[in-house]
């Protein structure tokens, strides 16, 4: 914290008030409502509701479709993190090593980062439709690809759609991480070790660990939340509901199924998951301060 | 040996470029053909000659694509929403971060947590209750309703707080010697100093606002308030018009990131 500060006065509340006001009305009020929903069961005919304790939570834990969504979300975030991280790292290392055209490559590789997931999903939709889909027919000729019926094929579809723009994000951050490594360290390592591949894994990659860790968190958060627009414009959970993420399932149950209790309980479970991720993140930031 | 590894790098980077550009190119090329041609021949790699016809139809005509709204009006709605979100969140966050960093009070850590714990609850997790509340407040189908719930975010506050913490203490000391009060210090010293950061966060929030999908989708029931990104879900009409709309929808954020990338990345990385 700052050593020199202003003394407490009403002017502090003046600076904090606008944001706090918006957060209270549009964030805290809905959150309180979510908790209220999660511990309430509404009469199926809308005649009334009663306090239900942990009934809604018990319900989602005994519901096989919740575990299907849970399993899919874990697999999905793991695969997206792995694919986008490795391709992003590969491209960043190459872009950092070339002498000519570095900026051209950089510009032409980062723009997909700005595109909304829903737009990417609509585009992917055209490549995977039975009618026009170039990729649908390519894969179909190789192994009989059909995401409308086959769960594994549907996984491939949403993984490709979900990974595409996230490669750019990984590329940007890895490139920034590589450029932050001091030249003298790399020069010294060239003298000690001739193999450039070994040099990468023993010197450069360990130095990139903070960036890697940061990107794992970013990619997991992306797979949990931002892929909503992708699922909603591609499979909508098809073949059955095997490609619904936890967030997508909560939305469908709440908004389409009008089961507010279940949706509320699912939202609170997600908040707990995000809380755990955030605690990890904070620990990492603290660790980084010690290094410096 | 050196020459081989050199061209190997270019080969990989070039494949990366193709991976990013080809999908968009195919949709763009297909959007310049007539729907009849696409329906019989599938997606196209080579440009056709219906570019002007398709794009002007989508931008300016209402019938056959959406019922009452043209793509141009949807762009206007998206820009109003994105500008509103960026302005409101930059304004409130700039002030809130100042209140957190430059004041010494016993409740500071309480306010800190009150603001930053909200990062744990993305809009997707509170979408149902937010909808109920907005309908109680009579804000469905309005620009205010599109803007406010998305602006309730502490991301920008986080960026500004990091930035203020990197500002040297001497600045406030000398300002105090000159007799500046907290308001004067904020307006005359800190805001001018944060210009690059403000611009970067504004752009970041603008793209964030423009790309909103779920919230506009559920809160607008009349076409008058439809935005571009949500419109992708609801559009119908002939296939090459839809391709044209998809291509147009990605132009604003992509142009922003290409032209302002150095500025943008610099601003966001300043704290690293």
Taking the C-alpha atoms of residue B27 and residue A191, their distance in angstroms, rounded to an integer, is 49
Average pLDDT over residues B93-106: 86
Report pLDDT digits (tens) over B216-262.
999 988 888 999 999 888 777 788 999 999 999 999 999 998 888 77
pLDDT at A155: 95
Question: What pTM was estimated for this model as a whole?
Answer: 0.89
Among B151, B229, B261, select the one facing A119 at the smallest CB separation. Answer: B229
Is there a domain that residue A173 lies in?
yes
Asked, for residue A89, whether it belongs to a domain, the answer is yes
- Provide the percentage of residues in chain B whose pLDDT is more than 90: 47
- ipTM higher than threshold 0.90: no
Q: How high is the mean pLDDT of chain A?
A: 88
Asked if pLDDT for residue A84 goes beyond 90, the answer is yes
Decide if pLDDT at A291 tops 60: no
Contact A117 B92 (CB under 8 A): no
CATH number at residue A177: 1.10.3720.10
Instruction: Give A25: exposed, middle or buried? Use CB within 10 Å, 0-12, 13-18, 19+.
Output: middle
Q: Per-residue DSSP letters for A124-167?
A: HHHHS-TTT-HHHHHHHHHH---TTT-HHHHHHHHHHHHHHHHH
A174-184 residue pLDDT tens: 998 898 888 88
In the predicted model, is pLDDT for residue A289 greater than 60?
no
Residue A183: which region, alpha, beta or left (left: phi > 0; alpha: psi -120 to 50)? Answer: alpha
CA–CA distance, A117 with B249 (Å, rounded to integer) = 12
Partners of residue A90 in chain B, C-beta under 8 Å = 12
Q: Does A23 sit within 8 Å of B154, measured CB to CB?
A: yes
Closest to B267 in 3D by CA, of B156, B187, B173: B156
B-proximal residues of A, 66-85, CB under 8 Å? none
Q: What is the pLDDT of residue B128?
A: 87
Q: Give the pLDDT band (50/70/90) at residue B265.
A: low
Chain B nearest C-alpha distance from A31 (Å): 6
A261 touches chain B (CB under 8 A): no
Do the beta carbons of residue B79 and residue B204 sit within 8 Å?
A: no
The answer to whether the CB atoms of A109 and B96 lie below 8 A apart is no
CA-closest candidate to residue A5, choices B95, B158, B185: B185
Cα separations (Å) of A60 from A144, A224, A255, B127?
Answer: 35, 18, 16, 19
Taking CB atoms and an 8 Å limit, are A132 and B111 in contact across chains?
no
Of the residues B6, B20, B87, B243, the best mutation for testing chain A's interface (the one with the most A CB atoms within 10 Å of its CB) is: B20
Residue of higher predicted confidence among B86 and A3: B86
Tell me how far apart the alpha carbons of residues B210 and A246 are, in angstroms, rounded to a whole number.
25
Q: Which three-class secondary structure state does DSSP give residue A40?
A: strand
Higher-pLDDT residue of B194, A192: B194
**Contact criterion met (CB < 8 Å) for B105 and A12:** yes
- Provide the pLDDT confidence category of residue B211 given band limits of 50, 70 and 90: very high
- Nearest Cα of chain A lies from the Cα of B147 at a distance, in angstroms, of 11
Which of A91, A233, A251 lies at the smallest CB-CB distance from B124? A251
Residue window 14-53, chain A: list those with CB within 8 Å of chain B.
14-16, 18-20, 22-23, 25-31, 33-34, 37
Interchain CB contact of B147 with A (< 8 Å): no
Distance CA A224, CA A226 (A): 6
Q: Tell me how close the Cα of A180 comes to any Cα of chain B, in angstroms.
A: 10
Opening angle at CA A276, ends A64 and B102, nearest 5: 145
Instruction: Give tens-digit pLDDT for B23-75.
Output: 999 999 999 999 999 988 889 999 999 899 999 988 888 755 567 788 899 99
Out of B102, B151, B269, the one facing A6 most closely (by C-beta) is B102
Query: What kind and span of H or E run contains A50?
Result: strand A49-51
Judge whether residue A150 has pLDDT over 50.
yes
- pLDDT tens for residues B250-262? 999 999 988 887 7
Residue A48 within a domain: no
Q: What is the mean pLDDT of residues A78-99?
A: 94
Asked whether residue A163 is domain-assigned, the answer is yes
Question: What is the band of B117 on the pLDDT scale with cuts at 50, 70, 90?
Answer: confident
- Nearest CA-CA partner of B249 in A114, A226, A106, A127: A114
- Indicate whether B271 pLDDT > 50: no
Q: What is the pLDDT of residues B56-69, one digit of tens each?
A: 988 888 755 567 78
Burial degree of A163 (CB within 10 A; 0-12, 13-18, 19+): buried
Chain A with chain B: Cβ pairs closer than 8 A: 253
Give the pLDDT score at B66. 63
Residue in B16, B116, B191 to test binding to A, most A beta-carbons within 10 Å: B16
Residue range of the domain that includes A265: 57-291
pLDDT of A292 reads: 32
Residue pair B66/B226 in contact by the 8 Å Cβ criterion: yes
In this structure, is residue A235 part of a structural domain? yes
Give the angle B59-B63-B66 at the CA atoms, nearest 5°: 70
The single-letter DSSP state of residue B167 is S
Could you tell me if residue A13 is inside a domain?
no
pLDDT confidence of residue B63: 56
B213 touches chain A (CB under 8 A): yes
Residue A90: inside a domain:
yes
DSSP string for residues in B21-72? HHHHHHHHHHTTS-HHHHHHH-S-SS--S-HHHHHHHHHH--TTTSSS--HH
Give the pairing of strands A6-7 and B103-104.
Answer: parallel
Please check whether residue B91 touches A, CB under 8 A. Answer: yes
Higher pLDDT, A288 or B50: B50
Q: Is the pLDDT of residue A277 over 60?
A: yes
How many domains is chain A built from?
1
Tell me whether residues B19 and A2 touch, CB distance under 8 A.
Answer: no
Residue bearing tokens 């892929």: A227
**Residue A78 belongs to some domain of the structure:** yes
A94 touching B, CB under 8 A?
yes
Q: Which of B252, B45, B36 is nearest to A115 (CA)?
A: B252
List, in order of start, the domains of chain B with CATH numbers. Answer: 47-269 (1.10.3720.10)
The 10 Å Cβ neighbour count of residue A245 is 27
Tell which wins on pLDDT, B180 or B63. B180
Mean pLDDT of A54-75: 92
pLDDT classification of B272: cutoffs 50, 70, 90:
very low
What does the pLDDT look like over B164-177, one tens digit per residue? 988 888 888 888 88
């Amino acid at each position: 914290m700052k050593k020199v500060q202003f003394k407490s006065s009403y002017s502090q509340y003046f600076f904090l008030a606008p944001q706090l006001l918006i957060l209270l009305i549009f964030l805290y009020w809905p959150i309180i409502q979510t908790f209220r929903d999660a511990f309430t069961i509404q009469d199926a005919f809308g005649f009334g509701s009663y306090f239900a304790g942990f009934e809604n939570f018990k319900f989602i834990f005994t519901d096989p479709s919740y575990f299907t969504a849970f399993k899919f979300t874990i697999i999905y975030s793991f695969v997206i993190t792995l694919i986008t991280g490795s391709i992003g790292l590969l491209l960043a290392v190459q872009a950092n090593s070339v002498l000519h055209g570095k900026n051209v490559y950089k510009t032409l590789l980062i723009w997909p980062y700005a595109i909304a997931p829903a737009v990417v999903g609509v585009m992917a939709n055209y490549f995977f439709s039975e009618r026009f889909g170039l990729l649908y027919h390519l894969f179909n000729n190789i192994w009989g690809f059909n995401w409308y019926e086959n769960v594994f094929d549907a996984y491939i579809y949403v993984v490709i759609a979900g990974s595409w723009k996230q490669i750019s994000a990984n590329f940007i951050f890895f490139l920034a991480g590589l450029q932050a490594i001091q030249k003298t360290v790399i020069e010294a390592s060239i003298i000690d070790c001739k193999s450039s591949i070994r040099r990468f894994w023993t010197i450069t990659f360990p130095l990139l660990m903070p960036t890697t860790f940061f990107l794992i968190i970013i990619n997991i958060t992306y797979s949990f939340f931002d892929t909503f627009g992708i699922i909603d414009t591609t499979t909508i959970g098809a073949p059955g509901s095997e490609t619904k993420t936890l967030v997508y399932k909560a939305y469908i149950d709440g908004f389409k199924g009008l089961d507010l209790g279940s949706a509320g309980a699912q939202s609170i479970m997600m908040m707990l998951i995000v809380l755990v991720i955030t605690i990890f993140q904070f620990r990492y930031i603290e660790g980084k301060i010690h290094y410096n | 040996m050196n020459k081989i590894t050199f061209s190997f790098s270019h080969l990989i980077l070039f494949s990366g470029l193709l991976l990013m550009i080809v999908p968009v190119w195919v949709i763009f090329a297909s959007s310049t053909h007539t729907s009849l041609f696409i329906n019989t021949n599938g997606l196209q790699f080579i440009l056709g000659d219906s570019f002007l016809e398709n794009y002007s139809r989508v931008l300016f005509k209402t019938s056959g694509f959406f019922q009452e709204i043209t793509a141009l009006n949807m762009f206007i709605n998206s820009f109003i929403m994105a500008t509103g979100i960026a302005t409101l969140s930059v304004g409130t966050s700039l002030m809130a971060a100042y209140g957190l960093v430059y004041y010494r009070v016993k409740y500071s850590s309480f306010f800190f947590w009150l603001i930053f714990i909200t990062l744990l609850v993305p809009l997707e997790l509170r979408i149902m209750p937010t909808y109920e509340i907005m309908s109680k407040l009579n804000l469905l189908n309005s620009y205010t309703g599109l803007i406010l719930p998305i602006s309730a975010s502490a991301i920008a506050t986080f960026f500004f707080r990091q930035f203020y913490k990197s500002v040297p203490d001497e600045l406030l000391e000398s300002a105090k010697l000159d007799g500046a009060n907290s308001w004067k210090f904020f307006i005359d010293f800190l805001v001018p100093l944060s210009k690059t950061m403000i611009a970067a966060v504004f752009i970041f929030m603008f793209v964030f606002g423009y790309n909103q999908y779920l919230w506009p989708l559920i809160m607008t029931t009349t076409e008058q308030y439809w935005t571009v990104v949500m419109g992708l879900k609801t559009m119908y009409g002939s296939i090459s018009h839809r391709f044209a709309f998809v291509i147009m929808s990605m132009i604003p954020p992509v142009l922003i990131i290409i032209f302002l990338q150095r500025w943008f990345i610099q601003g966001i990385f300043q704290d690293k």
